[in-house]
Amino acid sequence: MSLTDKKYAKRIEAAFAKYPDKRSAVMPLLYLAQEEYGWVSPEGIHEVAELCGLDPTQVRSIAGFYTMYSEKPKGQYWLHVCTDLACALRGADQFYAELLEDLGIQDGETTADGLFTVEHVMCLGACDRAPMLQCNFHFHENLDRDKMRALIDKWRAEAKQHMKTSGGSERAGD
Amino acid sequence: MVANITKTVTIYIDDQAYQVEAGANLVAVAKWHADNDIPVFCYHPKMSPVGMCRMCLVEMGSVERDRATGEVILDEQGKPKVRWMPKLQTACTTRAAEGLVIRTNTPAVADARRNVIEFLLTSHPLDCPICDKGGECPLQNLTMAHGPGVSRMAFSDKMKLDKHVPLGDLIFLDEERCIQCARCVRYQDEIVGDPVLAFHERGRSLQIITNSDPGFDSYFSGNTTDICPVGALTTADFRFGARPWELTEVPSICPHCPVGCNISLSTRLDRDFGGRVVIKRVMPRQNEQVNEIWICDKGRFGHHFTRSPQRLMQPMVREPSGRLTGKSWNDALQAAAAALQAAGGDVAAIAGSGMTNEDLWALRQLLAGLGSSRLAAWPPTHGGAEIVAQVGVGQGTNLGRLGQGDAVLIIASDLEEEAPVWRLRLKQAHDRGAYLVVMNARATRMDDFADETIRYDIGEAAQALAGLKASYPEYAQKLADAANLVIVAGAEGLTLDGSRALMQAAANFLIETGHVGRPNNGLLATFPGANYMGLHYLGYTPEAALDIAHKPPKALIIAQADVLADDPQAADWLAQVETVISFDLFADEDASRFAKIVLPIQSFAERDGSFVSGERRVQRFYTGQGPMGESLPAWQAFSRLGERLGQGRAKLSAAAVMQEIAAQVPAFAGATYRDLAKVERQFPDVGGVDLYYGGTAYQNKGGLGVQIPTAADRGETVTPYPAPASAAPRAGRGKLLIVPTTRLYNRERTFQPSALVHPRVPAAYVEIHSADAKKLGIQDGDFVQIAVADAPTLRARAHVNGGAPQGAVIVPRHLSETAAPLVVSVGEVRKAEG
Amino acid sequence: MQQQYILLRGREIPDIWKLDVYLKHGGYEALKKALTMKPSEVIDVVKASNLRGRGGAGFPTGVKWSFIPQNEPIKYVVVNADESETGTFKDREIMETNPHQMLEGALIAAWAIQAKAVYIYARGEYWDLTHALDERIKEAAEAGFIGDNILGSGWSCSVYTHLGAGAYICGEESALLESLEGKLGQPRVRPPFPAQKGGGLYGEPTVVNNVETLTNVPWIILNGAEAYQKIGTPQSAGTKIFCVSGHVVKPGNYELPLGVTFRELIFDHAGGIPGGRQIKGILPSGGSGPIVPATDAVLDTPLTYEDMQKINTILGSASIIVIDETVDMTWVAARVTKFFKHESCGKCTPCREGTYWLDKVLDRIMAGEGKPSDVELINNIARNMAGMTLCALGDFAANPIIHTIKNFPEDFYKHVRAEEAKPAAKPAGRGKAREAAPVAGD
Ligand SMILES: Cc1cc2nc3c(=O)[nH]c(=O)nc-3n(C[C@H](O)[C@H](O)[C@H](O)COP(=O)(O)O)c2cc1C
Ligand code: SF4
Ligand code: FES
């Protein structure tokens, strides 16, 4: 499978329709590539380059500049915890330490089952609702350890369910 | 300094007024007019400024004027009052404008410079003693001049990064040394048009990467190592090769193509070379009219043939047994003289396009003494040099000046492969606004930069150009109406006659639209080799080569021409020559198969000499490295041979030969060595001791050369030629047109020994259209055999749909052992076994 | 002072994000009115209102619009919804709860400069929000407010969203434009400025405005410049959303007239400091503005562009981070420095190297391995960064160091003094200690 798959045709077309210059579509298309491959893989880079008429070097450069494109494989659930100043003042560091402890991994690592990749990030614009985390780009706010555990359990169950129904061939969403 | 900027403005640098060109870059202006070196790292005069290194910060303001009267307001001391900007400003992003005031000598500026250097050194390793750039490094120089005495960044805190990242086969990156100036990135993007380098990550993690496949793959990659202001980019050829201060720079001219790039041979006494002087690297030498500060990678890395073990070290004479045996010069010359005398005037000479003017003159004298004027130019693939002499690009042409309002037409040429630096400069002409039309029977790289692309049938170039007005009136009109028009013509897909017809058609277009006899107007031909125009001016013609093949003489001199590698039929006609005397660089048993006497000559690197470039610029080069074996400069060998034949005393120096040429051949009037050695200050001013913008291209101290005027330049009337007759070959049933093309990287003997670039010389291949392939049952990647008349069949892999038009097979020259046809031919193609 | 909802109208009318509800409450009336005015008249009204940019720099909005050359055929409006400053979450609430008013403001701006398209550049993390916004745009287009021949005016304008992908620098307007063009989000050399030919999006003249700025515009058009000017102070007109975070009982957004004091905002509105602790310092503009000590004089300073200058800080984006007495200000400086080190785009030497170096030295200080001279060193590094870069990030990154040292020198020297008393070197691995910051949760 790849971005040339029919299921992306409409969204690719929509991305190009927004801008007078094809190059501008590189960011939306990189998100598509990430969705398709689970990360911004070399195939994804080459396909985006081809689509936008850019050199693969330029596309990789863009992918490397922005933090929301992952240039390495990651877990099904990509968790971002804000530990920036405003959140840190409200206990985010401790919250993050607890999350790592519960998952048994270090900052930036992926759980052995491939489910969770965890990173601490800079301010996400939710400072008044700290501690918070973002999972596959969706916000979860006003958390504490219990709420966090409930979320993790929910995602685990969801992934298990998904494995059963899809034969494990596809990635679970959030 | 910049010819087309005429308006001048008054600016003030350190309280001194200067009249400068409006709109010119401030760093350049300060250097040129005030001899004030504003230090820079990211700024480079050949690329758009980005203002990112912050090294060039200066105090800046503008002269205050009375709003009503526009008069300058003066202060108590009668000096203009200045409105200063609150912050320091980057000089590199500023253009000269009326009333601009800067100060470069204040404590604030000194502080800023010191701080930027200190910042740069926080991550930069202190490995100058083992760095290739040490000794010619802008960072090192500017640190001495402006930097802090000691670094406050504890050494243990320094970044540890990868120091040997190959970006491709030729260029290595030292990540620790990179100062993130983006020069290499911008160069690839703006100048070359191959954006294969970029930054990855951000902040202090910013690193140069390439993600193309194969790596950093460009014919122009070496230039990045010159413009890199630190030792971050180095060539695989020179890495750890020598220290810059041990090197002696010898001005030279690249021997590989008609552009005639000015180069500098960095030489050194070398133990591995018997303690003799040897080339350690080739660097560009600035000549703004010819190659600016660029050279291609073939020029830079293709020098190894000069000291290849394959070089011919001593004269050889064929024994009655048939074996070539080493002899003294005396004996060999004696044998040659005897053979020539025995031929009784039935002698001819074939000279390759790498022979110098001095050689060609001496050879011509030799033949004249024997009563022959059969002088052949090799390879006989390109006609019309005489037309270039009539309406070639005008004296004073500078492709670097073409831009908005101008036009360029490229026809029947794969410019990137045939004349890389012209391709580089014309791509930029297009970026500056020049209208670019590319005509060819197939797609070439230049299409990427063209405004219009026109296809015609193989062999129909002349007709297509002659009919341009009828078939593409709009394009033709734009070309005609351009302020300046240059037509670049090659000979791809053409016979010798066909290529002459194309030159005629091009000349006609230029004459009819008034684009001759002026700078930046006229015809430019992508002739093979460094001195095809020299061959013309000294009386050698490609037609004579065909005549020799047709009617072989008793004795034939072949001078630095690889006829067997170029012409698949050569063996047939060479066999009919009684005595072949070969003057050669290489001891190649196969190539000298027909020679009775083989005499070793010197390469361009070992002697003085001169070439005439495609732009008709006579350019001299100097002796760079020690001779190989007993080889002599060819002119000297000819001259000595003449002496044996009673033609008078041999000349003593190349300069003396050139003096004679200048006196006797009108085209060379005013081209004595002294004239050729003249230099004038170049803009931008690079490569001086101050390395002011950090380029390590070399200053031109060896001469800018002298451009031969065309007939049109001399004011002679040039009249159109008769309409070209159709000379296009037609393939009959079951046959295809076999189209030889040029590849920059190939297995020619003057390139093969440069092993570094070998991985990039493609294996022998041909391109075939999918419809033809289908008919012949050929699939992509199959081996095919190509047969043209009675020549040996050529075997290569087929690239189906690699870009061949239907009915034609594209056969790149010099990739396989077997020669491709000399010119477009009719042949048969079939699938080969295994 | 009472909260007054010009922008956060969702607080009073919870469903105003829906088009029909918005229309019921006067939605798109301002656009209709603007379309009956000449573009230059619209600009004049905005100029007269004294509306200043809410993205941080406070530049007069009408003046900015008037820079756009009239004779250029292609022009753009770009809405800056990148909101990535630590402690800032106001544009988010506007777009979540009152999106049509922002769209309407952007359309009025587009009419005023005769733009043919509006791009909304939202930070990538606002993924859900932006996808919802796409729906709002679709609804507005179906209702004829966006697209061809808007409301029969003969003028056509499209609106698009563009998602960033995690880069604070893309909030800086020229980096934002680069990013929108599909390039690295690094600031451009100016001039040319975005409003000039050659400086804007795709080289065309472009107005870049913050979400909050534009959301003010419909109100101004409907109620007039004078009415707007009456709110706030003469130099700082209108209401402002103050994002209050950190050590307050009720963190959140507060929309109040400019001129409200820190004291009112923090104690009357945000509920004061939890646990009865003392307030120690305030960052008035996220991580980037100079920190101020919470003295009485400071607490009584009105939050206006002009008054903030008097206490040596800036109003900026008005993201007020409140810090109580339990916090070590060196830790604050170190944390903010990590942010800037992470977010420096790397283009300018002083910022790229400076943030890296500051972070290194601060790590050393936090690990208890600093020397007294290190405080001087970072102060000096920061001063060498300030004012030396293409964009203001270099200054932003210098502020936490310079101003924290100036205002809280004790917090710095206690680390290095402690070090002096200790014996020589420390065992390796102590560096980790820096992460265990002295945080007082609530
Ligand atoms: C490093 C940096 C980050 C910025 N981030 C933002 C931002 O997230 N949102 C914003 O509206 N303006 C931001 N700005 C300010 C913008 O450059 C610009 O001034 C603003 O968008 C103009 O809009 P306004 O006139 O409506 O305030 C930032 C500036 C800098 C230097
Ligand atoms: S490799 Fe050299 S030229 Fe390229 S960015 Fe680094 S220092 Fe500059
Ligand atoms: S900023 Fe001017 S030379 Fe780099």
The answer to whether C374 and C364 are in contact (CB under 8 A) is yes
The answer to whether C316 and C284 are in contact (CB under 8 A) is yes
**A122 vs B contacts (CB less than 8 Å):** none
| Ligand positioned closest to the Cα atom of B43 | 3
Q: Which of B115, B152, B202 sits opposite C345 (nearest CB)?
A: B202
Q: Cβ of A59 under 8 Å from any chain B Cβ?
A: yes
CB atoms B209 and A45 under 8 Å = no
Encoding tokens for residue B362?
Answer: 């001496």
Output the CA angle A168-A169-A173, nearest 5 degrees. 80
Is the bond preceding residue C438 a cis peptide, omega within 30 degrees?
no
Residue with tokens 């206006």: C304
The residue extents of the domains of chain C are 9-229, 239-324, 329-413
Q: How far is the CA of B87 from the centre of ligand 3 (A)?
A: 15
User: Are residues A35 and A102 both part of a single domain?
Assistant: no
A116 domain residue, yes or no: yes
- Chain A closest-CA separation from residue C266 CA (Å): 14
CATH class of C239-324: alpha beta
For residue B267, give the 3-state DSSP assignment: strand
- Take atom 1 of ligand 3 and give the residue whose Cα is closest: B51
| Residue range(s) defining the domain that contains residue A87 | 77-166
Q: Give me the amino acid identity at A17.
A: A
User: Are residues A88 and A129 both part of a single domain?
Assistant: yes
User: Are residues A88 and A141 both part of a single domain?
Assistant: yes
Cα B787 to chain centroid distance, Å, stands at 34
Q: What span, in angstroms and rounded, lies between the C-alpha atoms of B172 and B165?
A: 5
What fold does the segment set C9-229 form as a domain?
Rossmann fold (3.40.50)
A173 domain residue, yes or no: no
For residue B525, give the 3-state DSSP assignment: strand
Q: What span, in angstroms and rounded, lies between the C-alpha atoms of C140 and B477?
A: 49
The answer to whether C278 and C324 are in contact (CB under 8 A) is yes
Q: Cβ of B833 under 8 Å from any chain C Cβ?
A: no
Q: Cβ of C350 under 8 Å from any chain B Cβ?
A: yes
Q: What span, in angstroms and rounded, lies between the C-alpha atoms of C67 and C55?
A: 18
Which element (helix H / strand E) includes C253? strand C252-257
Phi and psi dihedrals of C383, rounded to 5? -65, -30
CB atoms C360 and B157 under 8 Å = yes
Low-confidence spans in chain B with pLDDT less than 70: 1-5, 155, 687-695, 726-727, 834
* Structural domain count, chain A: 2
CA nearest to A26, candidates A73, A62, A65: A62
Q: Which of C167, C355, C389 sits opposite B54 (nearest CB)?
A: C389
Encoding tokens for residue B225?
Answer: 């190592």
Q: What span, in angstroms and rounded, lies between the C-alpha atoms of B190 and B428?
A: 8
DSSP A103-135: HT--TT-B-TTS-EEEEEES--S-GGG-S-EEE
**Number of the ligand 3 atom closest to the C-alpha atom of B56:** 2
**B49 vs C contacts (CB less than 8 Å):** 189
CA nearest to C184, candidates C397, C344, C351, C396: C344
Per-residue confidence (pLDDT) for residue A37, from 0 to 100:
96
Low-confidence spans in chain C with pLDDT less than 70: 417-442
Residue with tokens 């060498």: C384
CB atoms C182 and A69 under 8 Å = no
Quick check: CB of C206 below 6 Å from ligand 1? no
| Ligand positioned closest to the Cα atom of B183 | 2
CB atoms B202 and A65 under 8 Å = yes
Beta pairing partners, B60? B102
- Chain B closest-CA separation from residue C356 CA (Å): 6
A71 domain residue, yes or no: no
Encoding tokens for residue C411?
Answer: 């917090």
Cα B376 to chain centroid distance, Å, stands at 25
Q: Cβ of A40 under 8 Å from any chain B Cβ?
A: no
B234 phi-psi bin (left φ>0, alpha ψ -120 to 50, beta other) = beta
Edge-to-edge, what's the strand order for the sheet holding B233-235?
Answer: B165-166, B171-173, B233-235
User: Are residues A42 and A82 both part of a single domain?
Assistant: no
Per-residue confidence (pLDDT) for residue A1, from 0 to 100:
62
* CATH code where residue A88 lies: 3.40.30.10
Beta pairing partners, C407? none
Which element (helix H / strand E) includes B137? none
User: Are residues A85 and A161 both part of a single domain?
Assistant: yes
**B190 vs C contacts (CB less than 8 Å):** none
User: Are residues A108 and A57 both part of a single domain?
Assistant: no
CA nearest to C294, candidates C232, C243, C246: C246
Q: Which of C127, C162, C182 sits opposite A137 (nearest CB)?
A: C127
At a CB cut-off of 8 Å and minimum separation 6, what does C213 contact? C51, C52, C53, C54, C55, C61, C105
Q: Cβ of C377 under 8 Å from any chain B Cβ?
A: yes
Quick check: CB of B259 below 6 Å from ligand 2? no
CA nearest to B671, candidates B697, B695, B707, B723: B707
The residue ranges of DSSP E strands in C272-342, in sequence order, are: 279-287, 292-293, 319-324
Beta pairing partners, B207? B200
User: Are residues A22 and A53 both part of a single domain?
Assistant: yes
Question: Which of A39, A80, A123 has the most C C-beta neighbours within 10 Å, making it the best mutation to test the interface with C?
Answer: A123
User: Are residues A112 and A39 both part of a single domain?
Assistant: no
The answer to whether B435 and B407 are in contact (CB under 8 A) is yes
- Chain A closest-CA separation from residue C334 CA (Å): 10
**Number of the ligand 2 atom closest to the C-alpha atom of B181:** 8
Q: Cβ of B550 under 8 Å from any chain C Cβ?
A: no
Residue with tokens 């988010």: C92
DSSP B607-645: S-EEEE-TT-EEEEE---SPPPTT-B-HHHHHHHHHHHT
Q: How many CA atoms are closer than 13 Å to the CA of A100, on its beta-carbon side?
A: 16
Estimate the crossing angle of helix C211-223 against helix C39-49, to 10 degrees.
Answer: 100
Quick check: CB of C208 below 6 Å from ligand 1? yes
Cα B279 to chain centroid distance, Å, stands at 18
For residue B478, give the 3-state DSSP assignment: helix
CB atoms A21 and C332 under 8 Å = no
DSSP-derived pairing of the beta strands C76-81 and C206-210: parallel
Quick check: CB of B40 below 6 Å from ligand 2? no
**B199 vs C contacts (CB less than 8 Å):** 184, 346
User: Are residues A141 and A86 both part of a single domain?
Assistant: yes
Which element (helix H / strand E) includes B120? helix B107-123
- Take atom 1 of ligand 1 and give the residue whose Cα is closest: C393
**Number of the ligand 3 atom closest to the C-alpha atom of B90:** 2
At a CB cut-off of 8 Å and minimum separation 6, what does B714 contact? none
At a CB cut-off of 8 Å and minimum separation 6, what does B798 contact? B765, B766, B767, B768, B773, B778, B779, B780, B781, B782, B783, B784
At a CB cut-off of 8 Å and minimum separation 6, what does B612 contact? B357, B531, B533, B534, B537, B618, B619, B708
Q: Which chains have 3+ CB pairs within 8 A of B?
A: A, C
Judge residue B274's burial from the number of C-beta atoms within 10 Å of its C-beta, 0-12 exposed, 13-18 middle, 19 or more buried.
exposed
CB atoms within 10 A of CB B652: 10
User: Are residues A60 and A83 both part of a single domain?
Assistant: no
For residue B188, give the 3-state DSSP assignment: helix
Quick check: CB of C54 below 6 Å from ligand 1? yes
The answer to whether B669 and B631 are in contact (CB under 8 A) is no
Q: How far is the CA of C167 from the centre of ligand 1 (A)?
A: 13
- Chain C closest-CA separation from residue A6 CA (Å): 22
CB atoms B196 and A59 under 8 Å = no
Q: Indicate the CATH number for domain C329-413.
A: 1.20.1440.230
At a CB cut-off of 8 Å and minimum separation 6, what does C217 contact? C30, C46, C51, C61, C104, C105, C108, C109
Rg over CA atoms, chain C = 23
- Chain C closest-CA separation from residue B389 CA (Å): 44
**B153 vs C contacts (CB less than 8 Å):** 357
Encoding tokens for residue C293?
Answer: 């000590």
A106 domain residue, yes or no: yes
DSSP state of B779: -
Q: What is the ipTM of this complex?
A: 0.93
At a CB cut-off of 8 Å and minimum separation 6, what does B396 contact? B289, B519, B520, B707
Q: What span, in angstroms and rounded, lies between the C-alpha atoms of B622 and B10?
A: 43
A118 domain residue, yes or no: yes
**A30 vs C contacts (CB less than 8 Å):** 165
CB atoms C344 and B203 under 8 Å = yes
For residue B418, give the 3-state DSSP assignment: helix
- Chain C closest-CA separation from residue A50 CA (Å): 14
* CATH code where residue A16 lies: 1.10.10.1590
Question: Can you say whether the dihedral through the CA atoms of B476, B478, B484, B485 is positive or negative?
Answer: negative
- Ligand 3 site: residues with CB under 6 angstroms? B 40-43, 51-56, 90, 92
Encoding tokens for residue A46?
Answer: 């080459």
pTM reported for the whole predicted model: 0.94
A171 domain residue, yes or no: no
Q: What span, in angstroms and rounded, lies between the C-alpha atoms of B413 and B257?
A: 14
Instruction: State which residue of chain B sits closest to C389, comparing Cα positions.
Output: B54
Pocket test for ligand 1, best of C7, C210, C345 (most atoms within 8 A of CB): C210
- Taking one residue from A and the other from B, the number of pairs with CB-CB distance under 8 angstroms is 40
For residue A50, give the 3-state DSSP assignment: helix
> Residue A125 above 50 pLDDT?
yes
CB atoms A128 and C85 under 8 Å = no
Phi and psi dihedrals of B287, rounded to 5? -145, 100
- Taking one residue from A and the other from C, the number of pairs with CB-CB distance under 8 angstroms is 153
- Take atom 2 of ligand 2 and give the residue whose Cα is closest: B228
A72 domain residue, yes or no: no
